[in-house]
Structure 1
Amino acid sequence: MILQAMRAEFEHEVNSTRKLLEAVPEKDINYRPSPISWTMGELAQHIATIYYWYVGTLTLEVYDLAEDRLERGDPADIQATLELFEKNVELARKSLLGITEEDLQKEWTMKSGERIIMGPMPRGIVARGFLFNHLYHHRGEMIVYLRATGNKVPGLYGPTYETNPTRKRE
C-alpha cells in the first residue's frame, strides 16, 4: 500500500519537476542569489541528480558515494541537465518498480569511503526524506530563483501568480 502510493507520487512529481526544469532560462543559468549559493544551473543539475540517487537508495544496502560516479555535464547547459533528468528518471522508475514493501523496511546506510553520512535506517524512511522531501526542498529554492530573476513559475499544484495574475494574493 505504501509503495503503491510512493510510485503514484513519484510519477506525479516527475511531471512537476520536468515543468520546473523546463522553465529554467539559459539567460539566467549563472544567476546566484548569494556568494555561497549554487547558480541556477547548478541547482537544476542537483535536482536532476537526486533522481539518480534512487538507484543506490533502493537497490543497495550500503550506498558508497565514493564509489559512485555520475557524469553530469556542464551545469550551465540546461539542455544537458534536462537530458540528465530524463535519464535519471528512467533509472529511478526502474528501481522503484523493482522493490517490495518488505524492502522498504530493510536497513540502509549511506557512506563516503569509511565515513557514515546517513543511517543505518529503514529504506522507506530514507526514500521519503532523502529522495522525495529533498527534491521538494530544492524545487522550492528553484521557484525563488525563477521569481528573483523575473521569470515565470509554472504551476506545480495549480495556477501560480504568473499564470493567473488577476488572482489576488491571500
Structure 2
Amino acid sequence: MYTSISHFIDEWNQEAASTQKVLDALTDESLQQKVSPEDRTLGSIAWHIVSSTPGMLIEFGVTVEAVKDENAIPTSAREIAETFRNVSANTSEAVEKQWTDQTLSEMKNVFGMEMQKSVTLNMLIKHIVHHRGQMTVLMRQAGLKVPGIYGPSREEWSQIGMEAPSI
C-alpha cells in the first residue's frame, strides 16, 4: 500500500493517463458494443469508471464534486473522455490537499469494511484498471484500435519496428 501521497499521485497519474488513452480511442458508435444482451455496453463501463470515481472518493472521506447526471450515460464518447480528464485531475488535487502521508495509515470504514486509507486509494486504482481491461476487449469487438497500456498493443508493434508476438 501507499506510504506517501506522492507515491499514490504518481501511480494515479500513470493509470489515469492509460485510462484516458482508452477513453480517447472510443467512438460514439462503439459505445453500444456489448458481449451479450445481459452485459454492460462499452459506453456504460466507460461511464462507470468516470462517474464512480468521485463516489468512491467520497466514500473514502475525500471531498470532491460528484459527476453531474451520473446515472445518464452520455451518447458522446468525447463527453465521456473529457469528463474523465476533469475527474482525474480533481482526484489528484483533492487527495493531495486533503490527506497527508500520516493520514494514510488511519482506518476508515468503507463499504462496511475497516481498512487503512492507503488501501482505499489502492482500491480506487484497481477499480479503473479492472474496468479498463473490460473495455479493451469490447473495443476489439467493436473494431477499434486498442492503445498500448503496459507495452505496445498488437497494432503498435510495427510502429516500433517489431513483429507482434503470435500467442
TM range (shorter): 0.7 to 0.9
**2:149 maps to 1:156:** yes
Contact 1:161–1:167 (CA under 8 A) maintained in structure 2:
yes
Amino acid at match of 1:85: F
Number of equivalenced pairs: 156
What TM-score results when the alignment is normalised by the length of structure 1? 0.80
Amino acid at match of 1:152: K
Alignment counterpart, residue 71 of structure 1, candidates 45, 53, 69: 69
Asked if structure 1 preserves the Cα contact closer than 8 Å seen for 2:5 and 2:96, the reply is no
Question: What runs of 5+ residues in structure 1 fail to find an aligned partner?
Answer: 61-67, 111-116
Aligned equivalent of 2:32: 30
2:47 & 2:165 partners in 1: Cα distance? 33
Measure the CA separation in 2 of the matches of 1:94 and 1:74.
25
What is residue 128 of structure 1 aligned with on the other side? 122
SS in 2 for 1:52: helix
Aligned pairs for 1:7-86 (under 5 A) are: 7-53=9-55, 55-56=57-58, 57-59=60-62, 70-72=68-70, 73-86=72-85
SS at match of 1:59: coil
Bigger strand fraction: 1
**SS of equivalent residue, structure 2 residue 154:** coil
Partner residue in 1 for 2:113 = 119
Q: In 2, Cα distance between the equivalents of 1:58 and 1:169? A: 46
CA-CA distance at 1:54 after TM superposition: 5.5
Q: 1:70 to 1:106 in 2, by over 3 A?
A: farther
Question: Cα distance 1:69–1:8, how it changes in 2: closer, same or farther (>3 A)?
Answer: closer
Across the aligned residues of Structure 1 and Structure 2, the Cα RMSD in angstroms comes to 2.1
Identity, in percent, stands at: 24
Runs of 5+ unmatched residues, structure 2: none
